[in-house]
Structure 1
Amino acid sequence: MSGYGFLFLFTFLTNLRPSVQQHRPTYVGYVCQPEKTYLKNSTYSSNLETLLSSLSSSYNQSFSYGFQRLKEGQNPDMVFRLFLCRAYVSFEICRDCISFAVKDTLNHCPNEKEALIYYDECMLLYTDRNILLDPVTKIGELMVVNQQNATANNTVRFSKVVLSLMNEAADEAT
């Protein structure tokens, strides 16, 4: 094989290799409800596994929308799942964030029936309650502190940006 033929073949084969690098999301925190648990081989566990595995497909149209809610199973073993990605993130970043969230949630809350995990780019929730019909739904609290404090040089600018953001939010709400 000539040098050019080998170079062409090498270039062709290396470009066929799919890229598997994922965007690592910025972890914020998680909330579990330890008073509500399930057994490993239970119907609830199977329903949860079905719902979470549907998120691991390489192309789930819902990642394009950045939101999905689903349920699996029948009462009392019904599982509700919801994910939400920030509006500005791409399909790929949303998919990668939710993929990380599934793994992290099961690590942080291995047997809890209710878990919520936050990243800067997305959030994932699963529960045994219908969160859209239950008006008293409260799933833990998570306080997040900004680690990048405003310095003396930019406190005025920071205050202006916060005021502008709050005014925009108030206008949107009305």
Structure 2
Amino acid sequence: MEFSGKLFIFLLLPLLQISTCDAYANPIYHACSKNFTSDNLIQDSINKTLSSLLAKTSLDSFGISSFGDGFFTIFGLSQCRGNLTVDQCAPCITKATEEIRTLCPNSAETRIWYDHCFLHYGTTKFFGEPDTSFTRVFSSGLIAADPIKFNYELMDLVYRMNAMTVGIDEKFSMYATHVSKNLSIFATAQCTRDLEELACRQCLDKLSEIFSGSCKYHLDCYVLSSSCVLRYAVSEFLNLPVSLSPLVFAAGFLAAGINSNLTGGHGFLPRSKADVMLNQLPEKSGSPENRELTAGHLSTWPVIGGLNHFVLVKFISGGLTAG
């Protein structure tokens, strides 16, 4: 099949609730194009690119690579979900490099998505370019009981989450917010790490438009593209704490490379970014007691759902206090 700029929408609720054990058992979606016949040069470039991606991504959860000359060059990228360790990442990338050969045996352009990872290779150099020409939407058929309020909270969350995502090197963030006493929204955004801040923002902005349309009022939605993904659900799908009761972290966003309008809600930041934000907090951001409390707990905060390199923070304006 040839890729196109069309938007495809699937009403598949079970797909949005992938368990950890099935995270790379089967791909969420795959696509193949640019078929070639028995061309040993193209196949050799594909094999070498896949081998290189497997080696790089197994070490750093991300990799880009290319092999071949001229028309026979293959460019590839692979990446795991940003909250995973390399040990969790490696099996998914291994599965992807194996399965794509079976699913797209004679294709020079392929994409394959799993819950834990993504792989893409083709004959065009796409590194650093936001690509939303190939997009898939998976949404549940369930509609919010109070759709107006739900959609308002969702789009506010997406705005905050996107701003957080583009401002950090990992190009990945998680976010959660309460809609009501018994209803919370959990969400995640991720760009491929080859994208600069502007390119990542452009990609997420495009998917946000889809959220505001195709996902409107739905309780769960997952939007995939070649350069970024957005996902939300009312059930926790990343092994995150449902209670949402961390120490509060505030201020210093602009200095830390995070939009200063990010107040309200809860986010999940890499510990390295949280360290930077804490060190750059102005004195007026909180009392010495609260500042010391936060600093003392940052390095010893408990592992959050296995996210040993992320911390849960609550964004407020004007102060630091215990959540």
Instruction: Tell me: CA distance 1:154–1:140, structure 2 relative to 1, closer, same or farther (3 Å).
Output: closer
How many matched pairs? 146
Q: Hey, what does 2:40 align to over in structure 1?
A: 42
Structure 2: stretches of 5+ with no match in the other structure: 1-20, 168-200, 202-258, 260-323
| Offset, 1:151 | 5.5
| Offset, 1:140 | 5.5
Instruction: Tell me: CA distance 1:55–1:67, structure 2 relative to 1, closer, same or farther (3 Å).
Output: closer
Identical counterparts, % of pairs: 20
Larger RCO: 1 or 2 (CA < 8 Å, sep 6+): 1
1:111-158 deviation digits (Å, cap 9, x = unpaired): 11100111121110111111127x5x8585231313484564999678
Residue identity matched to 2:76: R
| Offset, 1:87 | 1.0
Q: Hey, what does 2:124 align to over in structure 1?
A: 129
Q: Hey, what does 2:91 align to over in structure 1?
A: 96
CA distance, structure 2, for counterparts of residue 73 and residue 149 of structure 1? 48
Q: Hey, what does 1:146 align to over in structure 2?
A: 139
| Offset, 1:106 | 1.7
Residue identity matched to 1:84: Q
Whether the 8 Å CA contact 2:53–2:65 is kept in 1: the answer is: no
Q: Where is the strand percentage greater, Structure 1 or Structure 2?
A: 2
Residue identity matched to 1:27: P
1:149-168 deviation digits (Å, cap 9, x = unpaired): 45649996786355323333
SS in 2 for 1:145: strand
Q: Hey, what does 1:164 align to over in structure 2?
A: 157
Q: Hey, what does 1:52 align to over in structure 2?
A: 50
**Structure 2 length-normalised TM:** 0.39
Residue identity matched to 2:61: G
Instruction: Tell me: CA distance 1:163–1:124, structure 2 relative to 1, closer, same or farther (3 Å).
Output: same
CA distance, structure 2, for counterparts of residue 99 and residue 115 of structure 1? 16
**Structure 1 length-normalised TM:** 0.66
CA distance, structure 2, for counterparts of residue 138 and residue 109 of structure 1? 21
1:20-62 deviation digits (Å, cap 9, x = unpaired): xx975263211222xx222335111012112223455xxx354
Q: Hey, what does 2:32 align to over in structure 1?
A: 32
CA distance, structure 2, for counterparts of residue 148 and residue 85 of structure 1? 28
CA distance, structure 1, for counterparts of residue 94 and residue 104 of structure 2? 16
Structure (1 or 2) with the larger CA radius of gyration: 1
Q: Tell me which moved more, 121-130 or 162-171.
A: 162-171
RMSD: 3.1
SS in 1 for 2:157: helix
Whether the 8 Å CA contact 1:55–1:99 is kept in 2: the answer is: no
Q: Where is the helix percentage greater, Structure 1 or Structure 2?
A: 1
Residue identity matched to 2:159: M
Q: Could you tell me which of 66, 69, 72 is aligned with 1:74?
A: 69
CA distance, structure 2, for counterparts of residue 39 and residue 115 of structure 1? 15
CA distance, structure 2, for counterparts of residue 63 and residue 150 of structure 1? 39
Whether the 8 Å CA contact 1:23–1:97 is kept in 2: the answer is: no
Instruction: Tell me: CA distance 1:63–1:148, structure 2 relative to 1, closer, same or farther (3 Å).
Output: farther
CA distance, structure 1, for counterparts of residue 113 and residue 35 of structure 2? 21
Whether the 8 Å CA contact 2:35–2:108 is kept in 1: the answer is: yes
CA distance, structure 2, for counterparts of residue 46 and residue 31 of structure 1? 20
